Chains A and B, each alone.
Chain A
Amino acid sequence: MSLLELDAVDAYYGESHILRDLSMTVEDGEICALLGRNGAGKTTTLRSISGATPPQVRDGTVRFKDEDITGVPAEDVSARGISLVPEERRVFPNLTVAENLHLAEVVGNKSNTWGRSLTFEHKGATTEQVYEDFPRLRERKDQKAGTLSGGEQQMLAIARALKQNTDLMLLDEPYEGLAPKIIEDVEAAVHRLNEEGTTVLLVEQNAAAAIKIADRAYVVDQGSIVFDGTAEELREDEETRERYLGV
Chain B
Amino acid sequence: MSLLADVLTVLLNGLQQGAIFALLAVGLSIILGTLKFVNFAHGALYVVGTYTGLLVAHEIALTSGKLQSWGFTSLGLDLGFFAALVVVPLFVFVVGLGMERFVARPFYDRPDTDQILVTFGLAIVVQELFRILFGSNSLPFDQPAWAAGPIALPVVGNFSQWRLYVIAITAVLVLVVYALVEYTDFGLVVRAGTRDAEMVRLLGIKITRPYIVVFGIGAALAGVAGVVGGPLNVVNPTVGTDILVPAFLTVVIGGVGSIVGAVIGGVIFGLTTATLVAVAPAWSQIGLYAIAAVILLTRPQGILGNEEVAP
A residues adjacent to B (C-beta < 8 A): 50, 52, 73-76, 78-79, 83-84, 86, 90, 92-95, 99, 102-104, 106-107, 109, 111-112, 116, 120, 160, 164-165
Residues B203 and A160 in contact, CB atoms below 8 Å apart = yes
What are 6 A-B interface contacts by the 8 Å CB criterion?
A73-B201, A95-B188, A95-B192, A106-B185, A120-B204, A165-B204
Docked Cα-Cα span, A90 to B198, in Å, equals: 10
Docked Cα-Cα span, A73 to B202, in Å, equals: 9
Docked Cα-Cα span, A121 to B40, in Å, equals: 42
The smallest C-beta distance from A168 to any residue of chain B, in angstroms, reads 13
Q: Return chain A residues, CB-CB under 8 Å to B198.
A: 52, 74
Docked Cα-Cα span, A112 to B211, in Å, equals: 12
Residues A93 and B195 in contact, CB atoms below 8 Å apart = yes
Q: Return chain A residues, CB-CB under 8 Å to B189.
A: 103, 106
Q: Tell me if B124 is interfacial: C-beta within 8 Å of chain A.
A: no
| Cβ < 8 Å to A, chain B residues 170-226 | 185-186, 188-189, 191-192, 194-196, 198-207, 209
From A79, A90, A111, contact of B204 by CB (8 A):
A79
Q: Return chain B residues, CB-CB under 8 Å to A74.
A: 198, 201-202
Residues A103 and B205 in contact, CB atoms below 8 Å apart = yes
The verdict on A164 contacting B196 (CB below 8 Å), with A95-B191, A103-B189, A106-B188 known, is no
When C-beta atoms are compared, the residue in chain A nearest to B193 turns out to be A92
Docked Cα-Cα span, A79 to B203, in Å, equals: 8
B residues adjacent to A (C-beta < 8 A): 185-186, 188-189, 191-192, 194-196, 198-207, 209
Residues A116 and B206 in contact, CB atoms below 8 Å apart = yes
Residues A112 and B206 in contact, CB atoms below 8 Å apart = yes
Docked Cα-Cα span, A106 to B186, in Å, equals: 9
* Chain A CB within 10 A, most for which of B191, B201, B202, B209: B202
Q: Return chain B residues, CB-CB under 8 Å to A73.
A: 201
Q: Return chain A residues, CB-CB under 8 Å to B188.
A: 95, 99, 102-103, 106
Listed from nearest, the 9 A-B pairs whose CB atoms lie closest are A78-B204, A107-B204, A74-B201, A79-B204, A75-B201, A92-B192, A90-B199, A106-B185, A75-B206
Q: Return chain A residues, CB-CB under 8 Å to B207.
A: 75
The smallest C-beta distance from A161 to any residue of chain B, in angstroms, reads 9
Docked Cα-Cα span, A99 to B190, in Å, equals: 12
The smallest C-beta distance from A51 to any residue of chain B, in angstroms, reads 8
Residues A52 and B205 in contact, CB atoms below 8 Å apart = no
Docked Cα-Cα span, A160 to B198, in Å, equals: 15
Residues B185 and A109 in contact, CB atoms below 8 Å apart = yes
From B185, B195, B201, B209, contact of A92 by CB (8 A):
B195
Docked Cα-Cα span, A76 to B206, in Å, equals: 8
6 more CB-based (< 8 A) A-B contacts, given A99-B192, A107-B205, A165-B204? A75-B203, A86-B199, A95-B191, A103-B189, A106-B188, A111-B186
Q: Return chain A residues, CB-CB under 8 Å to B185.
A: 102, 106, 109, 111
The verdict on A112 contacting B205 (CB below 8 Å), with A103-B200, A106-B188 known, is yes
Docked Cα-Cα span, A82 to B55, in Å, equals: 53
Q: Return chain A residues, CB-CB under 8 Å to B202.
A: 50, 52, 74-75, 78, 83-84, 86
The smallest C-beta distance from A55 to any residue of chain B, in angstroms, reads 13
Docked Cα-Cα span, A109 to B209, in Å, equals: 12
Residues A92 and B206 in contact, CB atoms below 8 Å apart = no
Q: Return chain B residues, CB-CB under 8 Å to A83.
A: 202-203
Q: Return chain B residues, CB-CB under 8 Å to A106.
A: 185, 188-189, 205
Docked Cα-Cα span, A104 to B185, in Å, equals: 11
When C-beta atoms are compared, the residue in chain A nearest to B213 turns out to be A111
Residues B205 and A75 in contact, CB atoms below 8 Å apart = yes
* Chain B CB within 10 A, most for which of A52, A106, A120, A164: A106
When C-beta atoms are compared, the residue in chain B nearest to A100 turns out to be B192
When C-beta atoms are compared, the residue in chain A nearest to B185 turns out to be A106
Docked Cα-Cα span, A99 to B183, in Å, equals: 11
Docked Cα-Cα span, A54 to B28, in Å, equals: 29
The smallest C-beta distance from B217 to any residue of chain A, in angstroms, reads 14
From A92, A111, A164, contact of B199 by CB (8 A):
A92
The verdict on A112 contacting B209 (CB below 8 Å), with A95-B191, A99-B188 known, is yes
The smallest C-beta distance from A88 to any residue of chain B, in angstroms, reads 10
